[in-house]
């Protein structure tokens, strides 16, 4: 795996750990302040368990005021702070800092208000994604962005990662479903950004904070939009005898002017893994399947199913099934939603990549991943948000077997380069964290990275919030450039090497 080592200017703390604990104990109940090694280990990583780090302390505030006080203490003492929601992130964003405090927001989990007239929900950051739709269901409403981790992940984490999910193709990512945020800066200043209307005056700070991976501020309250539940939803399961044809079908569906509620792809390796686990009744002889959900009124669904079905057949679908009722629709989705754990049952380790490419390049990039799989001798099922062009190749390996972990890391980096070459990006929805920080040097030019640092500096002068994540320093890129000289061209030749 990439080195989790943090290449940042060292942060000079003004106090030692004992003094820090003493100050934090002044604002938190004893059970909400963890500082003994054995209590800290459960927080040493997020969903990217290859990177671990024990923090100095973990704090679990119970209200916004305590969050504010903790931030002020850490700012005064120049102690790094890493916010943590449910810890399901897959890029190491919530991995602790060795000299820092992990600020766990799991105890701020109250649904403050559901307003069925305005169709909004006001939430504390630790509320689980799925709990929002559960609370809104009695009003015939739901919250659209649905990451596959929705049973566990928190809305604060969703905001920080700008998370997506199966239904984001039609209904947008987290950022498109937010109205307002309350955030606290590292200096302890409480700000409200966004508004309850469609627009807010001034710069769009809410969009800036969304997806900022805990680097700009800590989110302490989220107001989201709720949508009426569609009258009907139906899933089409289409089988293909080639992954490339399935990829082309996705591009053709969008080109035909259809925006289905969800459009997901799984290849043969993925359906085989899933079928043993959840028995979703997938066709195991197909090289790839597409799951396409259409929703709306009875008439809208019928019309869209007909149009999508025609495109699927013209693109080479060899079999098409329609969910007959809601139970079968949920069964078709159950396999997709359980794909990651299903793969995890086959080999001890998997490395989930998260790149995004233009949809018209899906077929060729999938073929490229398949070639890399042969080159690196590691199996790589694909299961992903095809309609968004958001790939999730799952590189399977056993870290205890020879050099498999190193091969998996190199394979992953090549996939991301493939995404960039196809005109895409190195992250779709899982963020950069520590995992893809080196690839940021490939994606962005020094002038762009310098702009990111200027924005960070405007919010967090001493770089205390989640240091070493998401935005690489130019020096880091210089080091990375030294390691990865591509086609003989050294990156950032004007920066000093060290
Ligand atoms: C099985 C599985 C499936 C997944 N499927 C999807 C998917 O379909 N789509 C998708 O987008 N992601 C998916 N993910 C990734 C992950 O669930 C999302 O990124 C999620 O939004 C993380 O939420 P969390 O509460 O766990 O955040 P954490 O992992 O705790 O933190 C993530 C980042 O957010 C920051 N952060 C957390 N809370 C706050 C806050 N209140 N204020 C400021 N910063 C904060 C952290 O510092 C960190 O940088 C999946 C993960 C797993 C394990």
Q: pLDDT 10s per residue in the chain (498 long)? A: 444 455 566 788 999 999 999 999 999 999 999 999 999 999 999 998 888 999 999 999 999 999 999 999 999 999 999 999 999 999 999 999 999 999 999 999 999 999 999 999 999 999 999 999 999 999 999 999 999 899 999 999 999 999 998 889 999 999 999 999 999 999 999 999 999 888 888 999 999 999 999 999 999 999 999 999 999 999 999 999 998 899 899 999 999 999 999 999 999 999 999 998 888 899 999 999 999 999 999 999 999 999 999 999 999 999 999 999 999 999 999 998 888 888 888 888 888 888 999 988 888 899 899 999 999 999 999 998 988 899 999 999 998 999 999 999 899 989 988 999 999 998 888 899 998 898 898 889 999 999 999 999 999 999 999 999 999 988 888 877 644 434 434 444 444 332
**Residue 463 CB–ligand 1 contact under 6 Å:** no
3-class DSSP state for residue 181? Answer: strand
Per-residue pLDDT at 382: 93
The predicted pLDDT at position 11 comes to 83
Work out the mean pLDDT of the chain and round it to a whole number.
Answer: 91
- pLDDT of amino acid 70: 98
Taking the CA atoms of the chain, what radius of gyration do you get in angstroms? Answer: 23
Q: Any alpha helices (H) in 90-197, and if so which ranges?
A: 129-136, 155-161, 168-171
Q: Ligand 1 center to residue 86 CA distance, Å?
A: 7
Establish whether residue 149 lines the binding site of ligand 1, counting it when its CB lies within 6 angstroms of any ligand atom. Answer: yes
Please work out whether the CB of residue 219 comes within 6 Å of at least one atom of ligand 1: yes
Ligand 1 and 467: CB distance under 6 A: no
Span from the CA of 371 to the centroid of ligand 1 (angstroms): 31
The whole-number pLDDT of residue 304 equals 97
Distances (CA, A) of 179 to 87, 172, 183, 184: 24, 13, 13, 17
| Beta strands in 155-260, from DSSP E residues, in sequence order | 178-184, 190-194, 218-225, 227-228, 232-240
Residue of 127, 216, 224, 218 whose CA lies nearest to 173: 224
pLDDT at 228: 97
What is the distance in A from the centroid of ligand 1 to the CA of 482?
32
Percentage of the chain modeled with pLDDT above 70: 95
Q: How far is the CA of 318 from the centre of ligand 1 (A)?
A: 37
Decide whether any atom of ligand 1 lies within 6 Å of the 336 Cβ: no
- Taking a C-beta distance cutoff of 8 angstroms, is the pair 190, 64 a contact? yes
Cα(89) to ligand 1 centroid in Å equals: 4
**pLDDT value of residue 9:** 66
Buried b (16+ CB within 10 A) or exposed e, 119-141: bbbbbbbbbbbbbbbebbeebeb
Q: Is the CB of 390 under 6 A from ligand 1?
A: no
Is ligand 1 within 6 A of the CB of residue 154?
A: yes
What is d(CA 243, CA 288) in angstroms, rounded to the nearest whole number?
Answer: 5
Nearest-CA residue for ligand 1 atom 35 is: 214
pLDDT value, residue 481: 64
Question: Residues 158, 173: contact at Cβ < 8 Å?
Answer: no
Query: Using an 8 Å Cβ cutoff, are 377 and 401 in contact?
Result: no
The pLDDT of residue 8 is 65
Find where tokens 């190749």 sit.
Answer: 393
CA distance 231 to 226: 15
Pick from 280, 253, 81, 102: nearest CA to 184? 81
397 lines ligand 1 (CB under 6 A): no
Q: What pLDDT sits at residue 490?
A: 44
Pocket flag, ligand 1, residue 218 (CB < 6 Å): yes
Distance CA 287, CA 239 (A): 8
Q: Which whole-number Å values give the CA distances from 120 to 117, 170, 198, 314, 449, in the listed order? A: 8, 19, 13, 41, 36
Q: Is any atom of ligand 1 closer than 6 Å to the C-beta of 84?
A: yes
* pTM given for the model: 0.90
Residues 430 and 386: their CA atoms lie apart, in Å, by 15
Question: Any residues with CB less than 8 A from the CB of 112 and at least 6 apart, and which?
Answer: 122, 123, 124, 221
Ligand 1 center–CA 87 separation, angstroms: 6
| Ligand 1: centre distance to CA 208 (Å) | 17
Q: Exposure of 103 by Cβ count < 10 A (0-12 exposed, 13-18 middle, 19+ buried)?
A: buried
CB-ligand 1 contact for 89 (6 Å cutoff): yes
Nearest to 173 by CA among 120, 210, 213: 210
CB count within 10 Å of CB 306 equals: 10
Q: Give dist(CA 27, CA 40) in Å, integer.
A: 19
């Amino acid at each position: 795996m990439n080195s989790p080592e943090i290449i940042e200017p060292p942060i000079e703390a003004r106090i030692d750990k004992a003094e820090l604990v003493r100050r934090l104990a002044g604002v938190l109940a004893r059970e909400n302040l963890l500082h003994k090694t054995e209590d800290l280990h459960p927080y040493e990583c997020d969903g990217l368990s290859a990177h671990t780090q024990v923090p100095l302390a973990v704090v679990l505030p119970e209200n916004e005021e305590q969050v504010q006080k903790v931030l002020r203490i850490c700012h005064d003492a120049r102690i790094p702070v890493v916010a943590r929601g449910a810890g399901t992130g897959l890029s190491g964003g919530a991995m602790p800092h060795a000299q820092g405090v992990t600020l766990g927001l799991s105890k701020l989990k109250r649904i403050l208000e559901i307003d069925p007239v305005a169709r909004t929900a006001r939430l504390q950051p630790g509320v689980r994604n799925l709990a929002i739709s559960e609370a809104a269901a009695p009003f015939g409403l739901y919250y659209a962005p649905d990451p596959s981790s929705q049973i566990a992940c928190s809305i604060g984490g969703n905001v920080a990662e700008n998370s997506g999910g199966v239904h984001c193709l039609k209904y947008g990512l987290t950022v498109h479903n937010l109205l307002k945020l309350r955030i606290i800066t590292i200096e302890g200043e409480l700000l409200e950004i966004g508004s309850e209307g469609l627009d807010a005056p001034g710069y769009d700070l809410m969009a800036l904070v969304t997806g900022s991976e805990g680097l700009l501020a800590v989110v302490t309250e989220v107001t989201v939009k709720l949508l009426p539940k569609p009258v009907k939803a139906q899933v089409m399961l289409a089988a293909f005898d080639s992954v490339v044809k399935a990829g082309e079908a996705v591009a053709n569906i969008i080109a035909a002017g259809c925006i289905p509620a969800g459009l997901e792809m799984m290849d043969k390796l993925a359906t085989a893994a899933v079928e043993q686990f959840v028995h979703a009744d997938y066709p195991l002889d197909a090289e790839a399947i597409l799951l396409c959900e259409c929703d709306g009124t009875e008439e809208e669904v019928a019309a869209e199913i007909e149009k999508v079905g025609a495109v699927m057949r013209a693109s080479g679908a060899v079999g098409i099934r329609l969910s007959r009722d809601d139970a079968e629709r949920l069964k078709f989705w159950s396999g997709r939603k359980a794909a990651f754990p299903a793969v995890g049952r086959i080999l001890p380790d998997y490395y989930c990549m998260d790149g995004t490419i233009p949809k018209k390049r899906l077929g060729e990039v999938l073929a490229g991943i398949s070639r890399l799989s042969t080159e690196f001798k590691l199996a790589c099922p694909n299961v992903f948000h095809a309609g968004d062009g958001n790939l999730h190749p799952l590189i399977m390996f056993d870290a205890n077997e020879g050099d498999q972990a190193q091969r998996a890391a190199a394979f992953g980096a090549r996939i991301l380069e493939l995404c960039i070459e196809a005109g895409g990006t190195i992250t779709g929805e899982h963020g950069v964290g520590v995992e893809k920080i080196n690839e940021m040097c490939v994606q962005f030019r020094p002038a762009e990275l310098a702009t990111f640092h200027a924005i960070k500096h405007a919010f967090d002068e001493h770089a205390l919030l989640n240091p070493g994540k998401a935005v690489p320093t130019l020096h880091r890129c210089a080091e990375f450039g030294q390691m990865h000289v591509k086609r003989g061209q050294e990156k950032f030749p004007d920066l000093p090497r060290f």
